[in-house]
A and B are shown apart, each in its own frame.
Chain A
Amino acid sequence: MKQQKESWITILFSFAAPCKGKMTISVFSAIVSVAGGFIPFWAVYKILLAFINQTVTMSDIVFWCLVGGAGYLIRIVCFGISTILAHISAYTILEGIRLKIANRLMKAPLGEVMGRRIGYLKNIIVDKVEEVEPPLAHMIPELLSNLLLPVAIFIWLLAIDWRMGLAVLIAPLLAMIPMFFLMRNYSSQYAAYMDASDHVNSVIIEYVEGIEVVKAFNQSTSSYEKFVGAVRSFKDFTLAWFKSTWKTMNLMMAILPTTLLGVLPVGLLLVQSGSISPAELAMGVILSLSIVGPLMKATTFINEAKSMEFSVEAANELLNLPVLPDSGKEVSIAHHDIVLEHVTFSYDGSKQNDVLRGVSLKMSEGSFTALVGPSGGGKSTVARLIARFWDVTGGSIAIGGYNIKELSIRQLSELISFVTQDNFLFNCSLKENIRLGNPNATDEEVYAAAKAACCDEFIARLEKGYDTPAGDAGRRLSGGEKQRIAIARAILKNAPIVILDEATAFTDPQNEDKIQKSIMALSKGKTLLVIAHRLSTIQNANQIAVLKKGQIVDCGKQQELLNRCPLYADMWKAHVGAKNWSVGEIPQVDTAVPPQMRQTEEKKEVAVNV
């Protein structure tokens, strides 16, 4: 428990380095503020003393009131300074945490990052980290002064009379008894509370995200069962927890501030026995009253520290993501053959959860390989391992004879264009979005790539053309158009290896021919690896690897596979069947002979390009 606590505090303060000076001044001001806070007590004591000794004069009163006022001024001004500096430090720490997370996300294996939902990551980077601020900023000046002040007062009381000093501890010690019962399972309850709260919020988010379905299907009942259930059980849980704390909490809160419980009787006994003077008793009473505020404040930090701990730990999950090792070396590569040898892979590194089990495959330079097979068979995983989204668990992947781990991450990324259906455009102009493929490209080269990817015509339709910000254009571009921009980017990059992961699916049926055309332009003369839905798309591949349950069951040309691989033959039948499903008029395609391409024009054009 202790260990854990230290660890998250250590993490926090490891980010404090850039504002060490400010933090020091903040702490120093906080201490001065505490010291200043003593002055009014001293001043009032002086006035009381004068009354008790019956030597009081008007000028004494004026003088000590001014001293007391000055004390308050010091206390408040220093507190203000300390607060501002503490906030600056806290926000600097926050910024540091955010940047470090961003950095770690960049260095971590891409697969690790993409395995988490974007909303989840954003929530940690923005909201969870933000939650650290208030307790953090208040902890430095306030917790410090609220802990220092009681200690100083305790010492002062000890100095008056050691028995008075001990007497002031009576109330806090008694308060420890209910506190013990309160804190007994606080940590586990707090964790359960956070879980319950996260759960109810995630159910709500889900409900809103699926609102179309809710609207279309969920009439008869007043609300979705799971939604109502989550809300109710959250309420029941919180109430049950809180109810169980009411007695102990309020008992503690009744005892803790009543420091007079010990100090007054003990003080009176001491006066009675002549050990202390009446003025000292008065001082003891004043001091024991002044200890109350800080003590109460300090207890509220228990809660805040807990919430901070949770936030820091959430951030820590991302800060501790593994880093993908980078050799940093540029290797001169003679050719671009891709060779997978006995590749095994599992997300958690354990054998029984293997997604790939001994995959060996050779793709020679300039060839066209297709990966097919039932969903969940590991097709995308193979493609992603080549681009090093993760490192293989066993076996090896080599490009041009070099294990991809020996290449610097940068060099590997330069070798591969990876096109998926996820067509994200950055919030800059369309031109810059394409130019991302090659920062040194001239405008003319950008236009040429856009033309090759059939982006030209729809970009020309936009008011500002290539200078249209992607954010504005985004709403007016169809999925297919965005995809073509992504392809233009890859064309500009001109990497020797092209991987198409389900990129040929028709995100935009009416413009599918244009996507197809742009894909042809991209893959021309490249080492090409394709994962496609429609088997007709890949029937001309040099080799088709059939992947099932993480293993390659067969590999060959379309015709060979139709003859000897029952799984492929079934898939082909299903595919051709689905295409012409329940249609009488269209001539049935012979399953043994691949259908001739209906797009003769297209074929011609490709031939010309070649």
Chain B
Amino acid sequence: MFKSMKRIIRWAGKQKGRLYLGSVFSFFSSLATAIPMMAAAYALDTVIRAYWAGSSIESSLIWQLLWVIMGSIALNFLLSYLRAVLQESIGYEVAAGQRIHLGDVLKRVPLGYFSQNSVGDILTGITTELSTLELQGMKLVDVIINGYAKFIAIVLCLVYFSPTAALISVVGVILSALALQGISRHSANTAATTHRAMEDMSGAAIEYIRGLSIVKSFGREGASIASFQRASKDLKDIHIKVEKGYTPCNCLHLLALKVASIGIVFICSWQALQGQMSMADFLMFVLFSFVLFGSVENMNEAAHMLGVVDSAMNKLEALENAEYIDQDGKDITLASYDIEFQNVSFGYGERIVLHDLNFTIPQNTTTAIVGPSGSGKSTLCNLIARFYDVSDGAITLGGTDIRKFTCDSLLQNISMVFQDVYLFRDTIKNNIKFGSPDATDGQIVAAARKARCHDFIMDLPDGYNTVTGEGGSSLSGGEKQRISIARAMLKDAPIVILDEATASIDPENEHLIQEAISELTHGKTIITIAHRLATIENADQILVIDGGTVVQKGTHRELLAQEGTYREFIKVREKAEGWRIEHAER
């Protein structure tokens, strides 16, 4: 419990001082809540004495007590308000800072990080779990610090009046702490099972939704809902099992405290009977016995929450400690942009994808990469952009190993057009501007014109301010592709990496895309993963990749003259591009 607390305090970082000071105020504000009770004990004592003496109490006493209670309310308000001012904002400020920081971290880790760690996990870490920490973190620390502080104050107070009562309260709290320990242990043990059941549920839900159209069209509704039903039943059963484990611990924890408070009543009564304790003190402790352990009870809920927060912290810490790919990079400016692969090998973990690649891509030439799917073409491009690091060998840019660059200084030389166009749910203008935040509107329009998207953008209801992906402005695949080309165009980097789109291109867009690409690649070093014959045939150099190695290298004419993969490939492509459906009527 303390370890988790320390972590939260460390998380608060520079705001730590405010957190501690806030807890001090919180401690005194809870002492202020004890004042009315002391007043009541005092009043009762006076009343009883007067009763025994057969006299009456004075009215001035009543007024005094009223003022005392009102004063305690004012004091309590003031102190708890100060606590809020000091403490409550910390979580939000730290969490906001951390979100932004994590954004930077994620930008600088190798892409492999996202395949090793499930994206879903990363996302829940920086959304849901960070939110939990944001909302609960400070409150938890306060509850726990004060739980203990108040308990110590109570024990010290009790020791003075009745050491036996103090002993009983210590024993009670220790027993309840053991039960709390049980809760924590149970929580840690079951967290993984529950987590897995939740994941299964998510998986089942996604499969159910994704498969909906298929099961409907094949009339197999029953089969598909069965696995959904199973997952939700499993989840229910596990939850219930976990709950059944919790509840006894929770009850024991409460029971220990309640028995202790009855014990205190007993001891105080006994001492009062013996005349060892004054009537006033006895009254005070009997009244207090009902609320004595309130703060310890609150810690029960905190302990429950702490487990959740702890796992959130684990995830966030792992994220923050992810290794930057460019830890020792330098900012380097280049004179030439020749790219050279020297004995480059690469694998995702055990699986070798590329081995021993050697080739040069001279400045201002076009290189087409062809090969069957899964042969490592995209990986090769990702290596140039240093989304991953090579396992062996080296890639140099302008004669410098790309590992010597910072990501920033390397990538400022490279524009990329991805196969799967990703547009942010933002205005078209901002999507184009993404690569160069300082671009003027004039430059943006110019890039859009060159990328052949100005016209269709102007036809949209809000022009460049249309938000992509929202009602009525769904763009076709080809249109999105051209926006992503405009984005690359605006960046105007000397090297262009182009992963040619294979699907979802509307026919009337195809030539526009080709025009846009030729504008983009004009006078640049171009590396393209090509599927279209036209693109391939025009390249200065064609690299044929198969099984992770370069099997052929040369121009279209040269390669066509050779026996080999390339000639096969061209044959298949030509056939496919000219294909038409021959429909046989019955």
The CA of A72 and the CA of B36, in the complex, are separated in Å by: 25
The CA of A347 and the CA of B89, in the complex, are separated in Å by: 45
What are 25 A-B pairs at a CB distance below 8 A? Answer: A51-B272, A68-B262, A80-B248, A133-B239, A206-B424, A208-B106, A209-B119, A212-B111, A213-B434, A215-B407, A216-B385, A218-B434, A224-B103, A226-B424, A250-B81, A258-B76, A264-B39, A268-B43, A286-B287, A374-B508, A424-B211, A436-B215, A508-B373, A528-B581, A537-B581
Residues of chain B lying within 8 A (CB to CB) of residue A84: 243-244, 247
Tell me if B99 and A523 are in contact (CB < 8 A): no
A-B pair count, CB < 8 Å, reads 506
Return the CB mask of B207-236 against A: 1 if under 8 Å, else 0: 111111111111111011101110011011
A320: Cβ under 8 A from any B Cβ: no
Tell me if B435 and A218 are in contact (CB < 8 A): yes
In this complex, the member of A61, A92, A489 whose beta carbon has the largest number of chain B beta carbons within 10 angstroms is: A61
Return the CB mask of B105-132 against A: 1 if under 8 Å, else 0: 0110001001000010011001110010
Kindly list 17 other residue pairs between chains A and B, CB separation below 8 angstroms, not including A239-B93, A290-B290: A83-B250, A102-B229, A126-B198, A204-B127, A214-B107, A215-B107, A217-B491, A223-B100, A226-B424, A231-B99, A264-B43, A375-B508, A376-B474, A418-B217, A510-B371, A586-B537, A599-B579
Tell me if A102 and B36 are in contact (CB < 8 A): no
Q: Which of A469-509 contact B (CB under 8 A)?
A: 478-480, 489, 493, 502, 504-509
B181: Cβ under 8 A from any A Cβ: no
Tell me if A281 and B47 are in contact (CB < 8 A): yes
Closest B residue, CB atoms, query A70? B262
Residues of chain B lying within 8 A (CB to CB) of residue A504: 581
The CA of A228 and the CA of B103, in the complex, are separated in Å by: 9
Min distance, Cβ A317 to any Cβ of chain B, angstroms? 15
Tell me if A510 and B126 are in contact (CB < 8 A): no
Return the CB mask of A200-239 against B: 1 if under 8 Å, else 0: 1110111111111111111111111111100110110011
B511 interface neighbour in A133, A414, A577, Cβ under 8 Å: A577
A361: Cβ under 8 A from any B Cβ: no
Tell me if B119 and A519 are in contact (CB < 8 A): no
B507 interface neighbour in A113, A121, A372, Cβ under 8 Å: A372
The CA of A103 and the CA of B225, in the complex, are separated in Å by: 8
List the one stretch of A23-31, A445-453, A539-547 in contact with chain B. A539-547
Closest B residue, CB atoms, query A519? B581
The CA of A44 and the CA of B77, in the complex, are separated in Å by: 31
Min distance, Cβ B499 to any Cβ of chain A, angstroms? 10
Tell me if B426 and A253 are in contact (CB < 8 A): no
Tell me if B207 and A204 are in contact (CB < 8 A): no
Q: Which of A48-88 contact B (CB under 8 A)?
A: 48, 51-52, 54, 56, 58, 61-62, 65, 68-69, 72-73, 75-77, 79-80, 83-84, 87-88
Tell me if A105 and B584 are in contact (CB < 8 A): no
B510: Cβ under 8 A from any A Cβ: yes
Residues of chain B lying within 8 A (CB to CB) of residue A105: 208-209, 212
Tell me if A106 and B221 are in contact (CB < 8 A): yes
In this complex, the member of A113, A231, A525, A541 whose beta carbon has the largest number of chain B beta carbons within 10 angstroms is: A231
Closest B residue, CB atoms, query A61? B269
B9: Cβ under 8 A from any A Cβ: no
Tell me if A289 and B100 are in contact (CB < 8 A): no
Closest A residue, CB atoms, query B89? A239
Closest A residue, CB atoms, query B487? A217
Tell me if A289 and B290 are in contact (CB < 8 A): yes
B88: Cβ under 8 A from any A Cβ: yes
Q: Which of B477-496 contact A (CB under 8 A)?
A: 477-479, 487, 491
Tell me if B583 and A513 are in contact (CB < 8 A): no
B324: Cβ under 8 A from any A Cβ: no
A269 interface neighbour in B44, B62, B216, Cβ under 8 Å: B62
Return the CB mask of A372-402 against B: 1 if under 8 Å, else 0: 1011100000000001000000000000000
Question: In the complex where A211-B111, A574-B507 touch, is A602 in contact with B229 (Cβ < 8 A)?
Answer: no
Interface of B is mostly: helix
Residues of chain A lying within 8 A (CB to CB) of residue B561: none
Min distance, Cβ A320 to any Cβ of chain B, angstroms? 17
Question: In the complex where A68-B265, A228-B100 touch, is A264 in contact with B232 (Cβ < 8 A)?
Answer: no
Residues of chain B lying within 8 A (CB to CB) of residue A219: 407-408, 411-412
Closest B residue, CB atoms, query A137? B243
Tell me if A91 and B236 are in contact (CB < 8 A): yes
Min distance, Cβ B81 to any Cβ of chain A, angstroms? 5
Min distance, Cβ A420 to any Cβ of chain B, angstroms? 8
The CA of A149 and the CA of B93, in the complex, are separated in Å by: 40
The CA of A48 and the CA of B283, in the complex, are separated in Å by: 8
Min distance, Cβ A530 to any Cβ of chain B, angstroms? 6
Tell me if B502 and A509 are in contact (CB < 8 A): yes
The CA of A574 and the CA of B512, in the complex, are separated in Å by: 9
Question: In the complex where A56-B273, A106-B221, A271-B47 touch, is A48 in contact with B286 (Cβ < 8 A)?
Answer: yes
Tell me if B126 and A204 are in contact (CB < 8 A): yes
Residues of chain B lying within 8 A (CB to CB) of residue A325: none
A309: Cβ under 8 A from any B Cβ: no
B365: Cβ under 8 A from any A Cβ: no
A334: Cβ under 8 A from any B Cβ: no
Tell me if B236 and A94 are in contact (CB < 8 A): yes
Return the CB mask of B543-586 against A: 1 if under 8 Å, else 0: 00000000000000000000000000100111111111111111
Tell me if B266 and A268 are in contact (CB < 8 A): no
Closest B residue, CB atoms, query A225? B437
In this complex, the member of A222, A271, A286 whose beta carbon has the largest number of chain B beta carbons within 10 angstroms is: A271
Question: In the complex where A47-B286, A61-B270 touch, is A261 in contact with B73 (Cβ < 8 A)?
Answer: yes
B393: Cβ under 8 A from any A Cβ: no
Tell me if A489 and B103 are in contact (CB < 8 A): no
Residues of chain B lying within 8 A (CB to CB) of residue A44: 265, 286, 289-290
B149: Cβ under 8 A from any A Cβ: no
| Number of residues on chain A facing chain B (CB within 8 A) | 194
Tell me if A122 and B579 are in contact (CB < 8 A): no
Residues of chain A lying within 8 A (CB to CB) of residue B111: 211-212, 215
Tell me if B583 and A528 are in contact (CB < 8 A): yes
Residues of chain A lying within 8 A (CB to CB) of residue B583: 367-368, 523, 528, 540-542
Residues of chain B lying within 8 A (CB to CB) of residue A56: 269, 273
Min distance, Cβ B481 to any Cβ of chain A, angstroms? 12
In this complex, the member of B80, B294, B474 whose beta carbon has the largest number of chain A beta carbons within 10 angstroms is: B80
Tell me if A227 and B236 are in contact (CB < 8 A): no
Min distance, Cβ A319 to any Cβ of chain B, angstroms? 15
Question: In the complex where A260-B37, A413-B219, A439-B220 touch, is A598 in contact with B531 (Cβ < 8 A)?
Answer: no
Tell me if B244 and A417 are in contact (CB < 8 A): no
In this complex, the member of A282, A502, A511, A586 whose beta carbon has the largest number of chain B beta carbons within 10 angstroms is: A282
List the one stretch of B11-19, B53-61, B158-166 in contact with chain A. B53-61
A197 interface neighbour in B131, B213, B580, B582, Cβ under 8 Å: B131
A17: Cβ under 8 A from any B Cβ: no
Closest B residue, CB atoms, query A376? B476
The CA of A137 and the CA of B247, in the complex, are separated in Å by: 13
B538: Cβ under 8 A from any A Cβ: yes
Closest A residue, CB atoms, query B536? A583
Tell me if A506 and B576 are in contact (CB < 8 A): yes
The CA of A215 and the CA of B114, in the complex, are separated in Å by: 13
The CA of A247 and the CA of B218, in the complex, are separated in Å by: 61
Residues of chain B lying within 8 A (CB to CB) of residue A286: 287, 290
B505: Cβ under 8 A from any A Cβ: yes
Question: In the complex where A542-B583, A571-B508 touch, is A125 in contact with B502 (Cβ < 8 A)?
Answer: no
Residues of chain B lying within 8 A (CB to CB) of residue A255: 73, 77
The CA of A535 and the CA of B243, in the complex, are separated in Å by: 62
Residues of chain B lying within 8 A (CB to CB) of residue A211: 106-107, 111, 114
Tell me if B514 and A582 are in contact (CB < 8 A): yes
A98: Cβ under 8 A from any B Cβ: yes
Closest B residue, CB atoms, query A388? B216
Tell me if A118 and B254 are in contact (CB < 8 A): no
Q: Which of B129-175 contact A (CB under 8 A)?
A: 131
The CA of A493 and the CA of B219, in the complex, are separated in Å by: 11
Q: Which of A510-561 contact B (CB under 8 A)?
A: 510-513, 516, 519-520, 523-525, 528, 530, 533-542
Tell me if B81 and A489 are in contact (CB < 8 A): no
